[in-house]
């Protein structure tokens, strides 16, 4: 668990998640279902 911050994260589709994605309040699984269109503006697909 101590290496968690350094590990490469993947979403359900096997796409690499950026560190910013891991800090979002909503689960990454929701992002992977929608497709991360623009991480800077997550509200665009609300």
Averaged pLDDT in 10-residue chunks for the chain of 46 residues: 65 72 53 55 55
Answering whether pTM is above 0.85, one says no
Q: Where are the beta strands (DSSP E) in 1-46?
A: 9-10, 16-17
Listed by start position, the domains of the chain span 4-45
Distance of CA 33 to the CA centre of its chain: 11
pLDDT at 3: 59
> What is the Cα–Cα distance from 33 to 15, expressed in whole angstroms?
12
Q: Which residues have CB under 8 Å from 42's CB, separation 6+?
A: 24, 26, 31
Q: Give the ranges where the chain is alpha helix by DSSP (H).
A: 19-22, 28-34
pLDDT at 15: 77
């Amino acid at each position: 668990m101590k290496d968690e911050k350094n590990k490469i994260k993947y979403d359900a589709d096997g796409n690499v998640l950026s560190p910013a994605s891991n800090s979002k309040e909503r689960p990454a699984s929701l992002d992977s279902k929608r497709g991360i269109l623009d991480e800077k503006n997550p509200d665009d697909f609300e």
